[in-house]
Amino acid sequence: MLNAMSATTREEEIKAVGRRAGARVVGIAAASAFDAHAPEGHRPADMLPGAKAVVVAGGDGPTAGAWRCPDNRVMEITGYDLRENVAVHAMADHIEREWRHYAIQAPALPVHGHAPPMSMMLAAELAGLGTRSFAAHIILNPEYGLLYYAALITTLELAPDPPLDRPACPHPGCVAMYKRIGTTPCLRVCPACLSGRVSSEGRIEESTYNRERCHSRAQTYGIGSFQKALLDIVNEDDPAQRHAKIHGDFFTKSLQAIGFYRDSIAQCFECMRVCPVGRKYRKLE
Amino acid sequence: MAHLPEDARHRLRDVALKAGAVVCGVADAAAFEKHAPAGHRPADFLPGARAVIVVGGAAPRAGDWQASPWVLQTMGTTERIQGVGRRLAQYVEAEFGYYALYLPPGTESGSNPFVSLMLAAELAGLGSRSLAGPVLNREHGFLYWSAVATTAPLPVDGPEDEGACPAPACRQMWERERTTPCLSVCPIDGGGCLGGELVNGRPVRHSYDRDRCATRVHTHWIGGFQQVLEATLNEPDREKRKMMLYGDYFTRTLWALTYSSTNMAQCFECLRVCPAAHGLRPLE
Amino acid sequence: MFVLDPEIYRRYRDQVLALCNSFQRIGQRGFSDREIAERLGLEERVVTEIRCVAERDMYGLDEWQRAIEFKRRVSREWQAAALKRPDLKEPPKPPEP
């Protein structure tokens, strides 16, 4: 549907709102497209009755400067900002205000253990913003590589964008590497979490990802480490050892991460550091 | 040199609305003395405070109210209105040259606020208390509030004469059934939190179980964390301790603590049924 | 407070982990708590509890220490090459388990 005042479609108008608010990319998926991929209870219409569309915003990851920092602790606490969520709020407000349809921010926080209520990765795929990769199955945008995704769900009917027909992973350089030495940069740097095979056609033939081990790396300091350390402390009978554990660096960092968690949601970037997709945006002066 | 232009109120409102608030008013700092105990008045935090600028906004969207109840429990609050308060405090000092203090929205100790933002909203004429408890704005319904105390001698508003509560539908329900939607969904006599009545068409709240309400509005929060910690420390069986600390409730509580800005309010049932809480026209 | 029976946890932990999204394969999604409950004949709430505990329990704190060392070593290796600063590189470590 065209905006009556200009040739802008409402899809373009909403996307423009999102980009102005900080999204790098914006895509749209049909709410019904989730049915084939997500279990009941985790689909858009389970969150917002009558959902018709899911608008997905992708926001930048760490700055190019952050990728150059030799101290990985820096990206542990600055690797994430939530601008794609700001973009989603701006678009949701816009939809309710200008188009008079219901809109909610899609719930993405994994409030029951590690299971998210709705998959932002699936939303990004269905909205044509990226495809799954060997690297922790992170959704890679073919142009920008690693982006962070948030989404809104709305009852407004919107024309969906098609999923990408050409996957971003594996990159031609990685295909060539696999042919030479049987691995890719990400698989080589983190075999503890990742494994996979490239087909003769240069596609992902198989890919596995150990999420729980990855959690110890991607969220080293946070809820999980707090729980682990707390149990250890509670079970410690020796007061001196208990004192050392409570006041030691690991538990202190865990508490800091809980207090400032929004700044440190993602704490391991090693599979992405070696990924060639989008790397051109990390080369500055 | 401090200078308050004639259009100061208008400029403040302009800044507030551009920053995302939907309402902006000013309360007389002295008006708090009649209602708030010593130690919880604006001048206790900003000596010489003359006015309190109050902004409201960031309410759940129409879509949030329509969504699965679980959605509001996990994402029903946003910190967006707090940013407006902070911005206004900086604006007052930079533009007018008077002291301004962004009043902290958290608790001073236990469950007691520094200054009641609900009282501030009432005294600024932005809304009035409902039977359910929250201050409701006549046009927008349920809002989140932020407030800035200032020494600037701003023209002030007064409390509104007629509140949003009770809504006409609630008056009718009271006539019929001697209850209202919020009282019937969470009755204190039935294990809930609210007790009250309509007297001459006005809401009179005679009982509110704040501590029970805390288990609902802050199901996963500091109180629950403390409870599990205590239970764990008192549990002699190490396997059971693991079940407690790794289990769903404690994990969820930790998420709520880390993402508190989106998660601080976790029960909306009295407002979900409130005809005056939503403000907006029904959407499609 | 709902506390999972440790015996129930021990009995079903591996099955729940195998069915959920802890070990992921592209093209083969993990099951939701509801779906797992149907398969194992358990209440959904119990499955959620087993899964939450198991996710946290799968690795010990030593894995967290390995994570800290891994990130430090690997990021410095990369920067040593990218920034042409061999001084950043740490001495070699034993291969990952």
CB distance from C8 to chain A under 8 Å?
Answer: no
Q: Which chain A residues are within 8 Å of C48, Cβ to Cβ?
A: 112-113
Mutating which of B70, B239, B246, B253 best tests the C interface, going by the most C Cβ atoms within 10 A? B246
Chain C contact for A112 (CB, 8 A cutoff)? yes
pLDDT of res. B281: 53
How do residues A130-180 score in pLDDT, each as one tens digit?
999 999 999 999 999 999 999 999 999 999 999 999 999 999 999 999 999
Q: Does the beta-carbon distance from A70 to C76 stay under 8 Å?
A: yes
Could A262 and B258 be called an inter-chain contact, meaning their C-beta atoms sit closer than 8 Å?
Answer: yes
What's the gap in Å between the CA of C51 and the closest CA on chain B?
Answer: 9
Domain ranges in chain C are: 6-57, 60-92
Closest approach of chain A CAs to the CA of B216, in angstroms?
17
What's the pLDDT band for C77 if we cut at 50, 70, 90?
A: confident
Of B126, B267, B129, B265, nearest to B205 (Cα)? B129
Residue B272 lies in a domain: no
pLDDT value, residue A72: 85
Last residue of a domain, one of B113, B132, B150: B150
Interface test with A, best of C36, C71, C83, C88 (most A CBs within 10 A): C71
Mean pLDDT calculated for residue range B208-215: 89
Could you give the count of Cα atoms lying within 13 Å of A103 in the half-sphere of its Cβ? Answer: 24
Ranking A1-10, A178-187, B50-59, B208-217 by mean pLDDT, the lowest is A1-10
- Determine the Cα–Cα distance for residues B239 and B116; give it in Å rounded to an integer: 44
**Confidence check: pLDDT of A2 > 60:** no
Is C24's CB within 8 Å of A274's CB? no
- pLDDT value at residue A1: 47
Predicted local confidence at residue A102, as pLDDT: 96
**How far apart are alpha carbons A23 and A66 in whole angstroms?**
19
> Are residues B107 and B12 located together in one domain of the fold?
yes
Torsion angle (degrees, nearest 10) of CA C18, C24, C29, C30? 30
Distance from C-alpha of A271 to C-alpha of B233, rounded to nearest angstrom: 40
Element (H, E) at A226: helix A223-234
Chain C residues lying within 8 Å of A228, measured CB to CB: 56, 60-61, 64
Residue A59: the pLDDT is 95
Query: Given this model, what pLDDT does residue A52 score?
Result: 98
How many other C-beta atoms lie within 10 A of the C-beta of residue A6? 9
According to DSSP, the residues that pair with B54 across neighbouring strands are B25, B147
Overall average pLDDT of the A209-237 stretch: 95
A263: confidence class by pLDDT, cuts 50, 70, 90: low
Q: Which residue has the tokens 């993990």?
A: C30
Question: A266 at the B interface (CB within 8 A)?
Answer: no
Cα–Cα dist A183/A278, whole Å = 20
CA angle B13, B44, B53 (to 5 degrees): 5
List beta partners, residue C28.
Answer: C25
Nearest one of B26, B16, B32 to B113, comparing CA atoms: B32
Over residues C23-40, the pLDDT tens digits come to 999 888 999 999 999 999
Which of B251, B259, B278 would you mutate first to test chain A, the one with the most A CBs within 10 A? B251
Closest CA to A147 of A158, A139, A155, A156: A139
Whether B141 and B258 share a structural domain: no
How confident is the model at residue A122, as a pLDDT?
A: 97
Query: Do B135 and B225 reside in the same domain of the chain?
Result: no
Is the reported ipTM for this assembly greater than 0.85? no
Q: Does A231 touch chain B (CB under 8 A)?
A: yes
Q: Determine the distance in angstroms separating the CA of C28 from the nearest CA of chain B, rounded to an integer.
A: 25
User: In this complex, which of A210, A213, A270 lies closest to C71 when CB atoms are compared?
Assistant: A270
Tokens found for residue B35: 């209602």
Q: Is A84 helix (H, G, I), strand (E, B) or coil?
A: helix
Cβ contact, residue pair B61, A154, below 8 Å: no
Are C25 and A206 in contact (CB < 8 Å)? yes
Among B13-22, B61-70, B130-139, the minimum mean pLDDT is found in B61-70
pLDDT tens digits along B102-121: 998 888 877 888 999 999 99
pLDDT of B134: 92
Q: For residue A183, which of A269, A271, A121 has the smallest C-alpha distance?
A: A271
Closest chain C residue to A222, measured at CA: C64
Out of B103, B132, B150, pick the residue that ends a domain.
Answer: B150
Mean pLDDT for all residues in chain B: 91
Mean pLDDT, all residues of chain A: 92
Q: Is residue B3 situated within a structural domain?
A: no
Closest approach of B181 to chain C, Cα-based (Å): 30
Q: Answer yes or no: is B194 within a domain.
A: no
Do B225 and B138 share a structural domain?
A: no
pLDDT band of residue A25 (cuts 50, 70, 90) is very high
Asked if pLDDT for residue B51 goes beyond 80, the answer is yes
Specify if B271 maps to a domain.
no
- Would you call A209 an interface residue with chain C, using a CB distance cutoff of 8 Å? yes
What integer pLDDT is reported at residue C88 of this predicted model?
Answer: 84
Report pLDDT for A79.
Answer: 67
B37 and B130 co-located in one domain: yes
Q: What is the mean pLDDT of residues C54-64?
A: 91
Residue B77 pLDDT: 74
Region B241-251: what's the mean pLDDT? 95
Q: How many domains does chain B have?
A: 2
What DSSP designation does C94 have? Answer: P
pLDDT at site A71: 83
Instruction: Check residue A65 and give its pLDDT.
Output: 84
Q: Worst-scoring range by mean pLDDT, A260-264, B38-42, B96-100, B244-248?
A: A260-264
- Residues 6+ positions from A158 with CB-CB distance below 8 Å: A10, A11, A14, A28, A52, A53, A55
Residues 115-144 in A contacting B (C-alpha not used; CB under 8 Å): 117
B137, part of any domain: yes
Among residues B98, B129, B150, which one ends one of the domains? B150
CB atoms within 10 A of CB B65: 22
Share of chain B above pLDDT 90, in %: 66
Q: Is the pLDDT of residue A75 over 90?
A: no
The subunits that touch chain A, with at least 3 C-beta pairs less than 8 Å apart, are B, C
Task: Give the domain range for residue B109.
Answer: 8-150
pLDDT (average), residues A74-96: 87
Rounded CA-CA distance B78/B59 in Å is 8
Residues of chain A above pLDDT 70, percent: 96
Name residues whose C-beta falls within 8 Å of residue B20's C-beta, 6 or more positions apart in sequence. B57, B58, B80, B81, B83, B84
Residues in chain A with CB shorter than 8 Å from the CB of B61 are 92-93, 96, 102-104
Contacts of A189 in chain C (CB under 8 A): 74
> How would you classify residue B246: left for phi > 0, otherwise alpha for psi between -120 and 50, otherwise beta?
alpha
CB-CB under 8 Å, B67 with A49: yes
Residues A49, B193, B159: CA angle, nearest 5 degrees: 90
Q: Which of A217, A262, A278 is nearest to A64 (CA)?
A: A278
